[in-house]
Amino acid sequence: MNQKRSAKIQKAIDEGRLIPHEEVMKRFSKKDREEIDQKVRYLRASMELRRLRQEVNYSQEALAKKMNVKRSFIARIESGMQNVTLETLYRIADAMGKEFHFAFK
C-alpha cells in the first residue's frame, strides 16, 4: 500500500523525523499486522458512520432514539468497539434518511 506522500511528509522521512508506516508495520508479527489491519477497517467504517451522523446533524442520542437503542451502542459503533451486522447498518441508514449500499472491490 504505497501511496504518494506529500513533499512535506517525504522531507520529514528523509530527515529522519518520521518513520514510514511500512517500516513501522515490519516490526510487528504477521498475526499482529492482521489484527491491526482489522482494527483499521473497523475504525474507518466507524469514522464514516460518525461523519454521516454529523452531516445530518444528529447527536448520538438522537440517532439512538430513532433506532430504539441506547446511546452507548452508537458510541461503541463509532469508536470501533462494536461489530455491527448488515441489519444494523441498514437501520442506521434508515434512521438518517439515507440508503445503505455495499460493494466488493
pLDDT tens-place string over residues 79-105: 988 889 999 999 999 999 999 998 888
Distances (CA, A) of 9 to 13, 17, 44, 99: 6, 9, 22, 37
| Residue 23 in grid coordinates | 517500516
The reported pLDDT for the residue numbered 6 is 81
The structure's pTM equals 0.70
Domain segments of the chain as ranges? 8-95
Architecture of domain 8-95: Orthogonal Bundle (1.10)
